[in-house]
Every structure is written in C-alpha cells, then in structure tokens.
Structure 1
Amino acid sequence: MRKAAVAVVCAALAALAGCSGPGDGGTAAPSERWRPRPGLAWQWQLDGPVDPSVDVPVYDIDGFENSAEDVARLHRDGRKVICYINVGAWEDFRPDADDFPESVLGHPNGWKGERWLDIRELSVLRPIMERRFDMCRDKGFDAVEPDLVEGYGNDTGFPLTARDQLRYNRMIADIAHRRGLSVGLKNDLPQIPELVRHFDFAVNEECAQFDECGLLKPFIAAGKAVFHVEYAEPNSAFCADARRLKLSSMRKKPALGVWRAPC
C-alpha cells in the first residue's frame, strides 16, 4: 500500500518534485555519468554515414541517423559518443514528426523543414523528448547534445521569455540525467550562469567570431569541457585563445561532414 501511494504521488509530481517515473531509472548520480573534462579533442559529424577513422576520444553524431551498432563500433575504438537531438524545433523529416501537435509549431527557423517549438508547453513536449532520449540511451550513447535551446532570443512566433527558456532547458537536462546520460548546453551564452550546474559540458558555435568565448569560462572553471567550432574564422585567428581558455576547438564546414581542422 505504501509503495503504491508513493508511486502515485511521484507520477503526479515528477516534473516538479524530481521523483523517478516508471521505467526512467531515476536520476543518475554525477559520478555515474560521463563527465568530459576541458581540452578533449572531438569530432562533430551530422552529415552522412559516420566515419570512425578520425582519431579523437569524442564523437558527436545524429541520434536518429546512426544505429546502436554505429555507437558500439565507436565504443570498441575507445570513443565516447554524443547523441545530437533537436529539442527546440520541429523537423518534418524525423520519424516522430507526427507526434508534435500543430499548436506547438511556430515560425520556420531558417533550416529546411524546421519550425520553432513553443517550449512553454512542457506537458506536450516532455514525453516526446523523453522518447527521443530513450532512443539515445537504448542505442548506447553516453551523452546528448540538445540543439536550439535559445529560442527565446529568436522570432519563434511565440512570446517566449528567458524564464521560459531556463525552465525548458532545466527540464531537458533532467530528462537526460534520469537516463544516465550526460548533457551539453548548446550555445545560449547569456544563461550560462544560471545553467552551468545543470549541464555536464557545453557545445558552442562561433564564439571567437563574435568575441564571446570568455562567456564560456564558467564551464571550464567547473572542470567541464567546452566543445567549440568555428566556420568562417581561420585557425590562426582563434586557436591560440582557444588553447589558453582550454576549449576543445576546431574549424568545420557548416554542413558538418567528416572534414575538420583542429587547433
């Protein structure tokens, strides 16, 4: 009777109180999760079949487009593997596209087939993201890179606020941690002070081009890796500062294929 009552309470209050829901395994302790340290070299490949030949300890690849065997092959080579998942926009080409009601779909975000999500609708989006992160866990990924977690600063079609974004981003981190997955904060530089303790690493695009790399120092100070790419800047323009800041930096082409030019 007592266990049943506790289960009912947890099911009702899980999102607010942090209880473990059925089948989610509870929140993994930080010591049980992968905790990437500053300076780790990495590969970020979202275009095409994953090429395992790049000799780095960390791979960041698309969660939908890669199989459990792809992840296992990278693990056999001694790599940790991050699962790329878009959590801020609907993508019409994903197999779960029909799970998103029209009411949460906003303006196009500039990428073909994508529309911003109304991140205020936690009760709608949480179960969808839970299923996506279940996929990452079940395929054997070590971590998640949730993309587009700064919609509040864009023309989404919804009146999103910074508070809405903080609430959503913390929910995303909680979903990952409950599945034993590490989770990275993608960009969203203004909210780093409020979010650094909730995330295990950071992923950044073009902080050097926009003179923003110093804003990532809280992650480095906390002993958490910052995986960083530049697209337009030559390595000579940012690698010295990246090494000084202990960023894991490289130059990539925007398509995020195999090519990379590490610092």
Structure 2
Amino acid sequence: MAAVGALAATALVVLTGCGGSGSGTGDEGAASPTRSSGPPAHSPGPAITPLPTTGAVDYQLGGAYPPPKGVTVVERDAGDRPAPHTYSICYVNGFQTQPDQAARWSGPRAELLLRGSDGRPVSDPDWPGEHILDPTTPAKRAGILAVLAPVIRSCATKGFQAVEIDNLDTFTRFHRIPESATEALARAYVRTAHAAGLAIAQKNAAESSRTARSWGFDFAVAEECHVYDECGAYTAVYGKRVIEVEYTDNLRTPFASLCRAGNRPPLLVLRDRDLTTPASPHYRDRTC
C-alpha cells in the first residue's frame, strides 16, 4: 500500500497543478460538486480548435488507414498518429482499461481498479478484457490521472486537435461508483486536455449530455444515436458539434435517407461494427 500512496501523492500534485476549467471544484470538493447551467469558461492557455461543423468524418479505432476522399475529420486511437491534413481526434478510454494495456494497470496500479466482493477486479461483461477504473477517492483519482494525463498530453504532442474520453457512463452501470466521483475525474480530464490545447469530447451517455457539458466537454461523439433516438439529446446541448457513428449491423433506415434527414448531426459516418481497415473483407465505411 505504501507504493500506491506514493504514486497517488505524486499524482495529486498533477491534479492541483492543471489549469482550471470553469466553476467546478477539484477533488477536495468532489463530495458536494458544484453544478452550473452552462459550460465552464476556459482558463488562459493554449488555443483550442473547436470541432468543425462541416465536412466528412471517419472513425478509425480499429486501425489507421488513409482517410477516404473528402474526409476532413478523423478519430484514431491514442497509439496511432493523427491523419495528416484533417481535424484529428485522439481516443482515450478514461473510465475503463483497454484489453491490450493490462500491464499499465498492474503492480501498485492494480489498486486503481474497482474490486468486487470477491476482491477481484471488476470487468465489463459487454467488453471482455476491460476492467473498471475506481475513481471513488481523491487518491485513486490522482493515481488514474497519473497514468492517463500523460496519454492525453501525448495526443497534443503528436498533433491531434481533440481527445475523446470513452465510457463516461460507467457509473450508470456499476453503481458502486457515485456520479460525484465520475464528475471529479471527468473535470480533471477536461483540465488536462484544455491545458494541452485539446478540445475534449463526451462519448455516448446521451442522458448525461447537459451535465457533461457543464463539466467542460466541448463536443460529443455519439454511437447509434439514430437507432436509439438520442441524437437530439446531444444536439440540444452541443448544437452541430456532434459526431454520429452508426453501424451496418444495426441500421434501421437506409443510409441515404439518413443522410438526407434535416435534423441529423452534420458529421455522420457508417462503419462496420469491428471498425476494420480496408484490408478486411468486412470493412464498410460511408459518409454523407
């Protein structure tokens, strides 16, 4: 436990050293978070480039490849390089672990994983190999940020303009995590991204859009919002700064009809579920 405490103590310096974002509290006030009616103002720092509201988008989390003709916005994993000459978004799993990064959360950092009644790390049944991060104390949030803040900053160093933080809604599925703990960690991610000059995206969690916006998120990435009739929940908060990702195995409307819809988010892409690259026979990628 001493090693974990040292890691967390070091990370707390990182938490308090980040530039503030709006009227939110830091970890010290997470037990009684302050709500605001609108997005927090950015603190002085590097200029942040907002998500464009025109053009075409591609979602390349399964592997990087040259964007199709006409694509101007591309999202890739944090381990990849940004797509040249595009508005590039960097994917970071902020509330769960990635299956291929188990070593990142081993040793003393294993204490940052949520534990079940049997003492074992809790995994997400919908995503094999993903474990749930535990943001329930200031020390654990600091430890998580010590791991992921450098990843966020590396996105900026590589040349990305924005970062997407995945699994914001984990607290709604694993009820031992209170919303206040999620808010405290989310605000820390927002401060980190903004201090690095990155816009930051809410991922899914349509029902939390207004709350997430008040925490400082700049735009949204929404999977299957047409299928689940949720697109309006995002656009009511973020306007046109919403990326809609639909999948070929669950599309209830012809894609051409969806493109013609007047109320859809302007950045819409249709992908195969596994987000494969063009080398795969299962690859599908269409934009409006």
Class of the TM-score when normalised by the shorter of the 2 chains = 0.7 to 0.9
> Structure 1 CA distance, aligned partners of 2:64 and 2:112?
31
Match runs of 1:62-73 below 5 Å:
62-64=77-79, 66-67=80-81, 71=82
Aligned residue for 2:123? 108
Aligned residue for 1:38? 53
- One-letter amino acid of the structure 2 residue matched with residue 115 of structure 1: H
Report deviation, 1:87.
0.9
> Structure 1 CA distance, aligned partners of 2:111 and 2:44?
36
1:57 corresponds to 2:75: no
- Are the structure 2 counterparts of residues 252 and 100 from structure 1 closer, same or farther at C-alpha, using a change threshold of 3 Å? farther
Aligned residues: 234
> Structure 1 CA distance, aligned partners of 2:112 and 2:198?
26
Aligned residue for 1:138? 157
- Are the structure 2 counterparts of residues 170 and 54 from structure 1 closer, same or farther at C-alpha, using a change threshold of 3 Å? farther
> Structure 1 CA distance, aligned partners of 2:265 and 2:177?
33
Report deviation, 1:246.
3.6
Contact 1:183 1:199 in 2 (8 A): yes
Report deviation, 1:50.
2.4
> Structure 1 CA distance, aligned partners of 2:255 and 2:213?
27
- Are the structure 2 counterparts of residues 90 and 13 from structure 1 closer, same or farther at C-alpha, using a change threshold of 3 Å? closer
Aligned residue for 2:255? 235
> Structure 1 CA distance, aligned partners of 2:193 and 2:263?
30
- Are the structure 2 counterparts of residues 134 and 98 from structure 1 closer, same or farther at C-alpha, using a change threshold of 3 Å? farther
- One-letter amino acid of the structure 1 residue matched with residue 241 of structure 2: A
Once superposed, what is the RMSD of the aligned Cα atoms? 2.8
> Structure 2 CA distance, aligned partners of 1:99 and 1:33?
36
> Structure 1 CA distance, aligned partners of 2:225 and 2:63?
26
- Are the structure 2 counterparts of residues 112 and 51 from structure 1 closer, same or farther at C-alpha, using a change threshold of 3 Å? farther
Report deviation, 1:12.
8.6
- One-letter amino acid of the structure 2 residue matched with residue 84 of structure 1: Y
1:181-217 deviation line (CA, Å, top 9, x unaligned): 1111101222211222512211000111111111012
* Secondary structure, aligned partner of 2:132: strand
Equivalent in 245, 251, 255 of residue 270 of structure 2: 251
TM-score by length of 2: 0.71
Aligned residue for 1:166? 183
Report deviation, 1:15.
6.2
> Structure 2 CA distance, aligned partners of 1:262 and 1:53?
9
- One-letter amino acid of the structure 2 residue matched with residue 98 of structure 1: S
1:96 corresponds to 2:87: no
Contact 2:15 2:142 in 1 (8 A): no
Higher relative contact order (CA closer than 8 Å, sequence separation 6+): 2
TM-score by length of 1: 0.78
Report deviation, 1:128.
1.1
Higher strand share: 1
> Structure 1 CA distance, aligned partners of 2:154 and 2:18?
24
Aligned residue for 1:189? 206
- One-letter amino acid of the structure 2 residue matched with residue 60 of structure 1: E
Question: Once the two structures are aligned, what percentage of the paired residues are identical?
Answer: 24
1:260 corresponds to 2:266: no
Q: Structure 2, unaligned stretches of length 5 or more?
A: 1-11, 22-41, 115-121, 278-283
> Structure 2 CA distance, aligned partners of 1:15 and 1:42?
34
Aligned residue for 1:24? none
Report deviation, 1:139.
1.4
> Structure 1 CA distance, aligned partners of 2:154 and 2:19?
24
Contact 1:220 1:246 in 2 (8 A): no
> Structure 2 CA distance, aligned partners of 1:168 and 1:40?
32
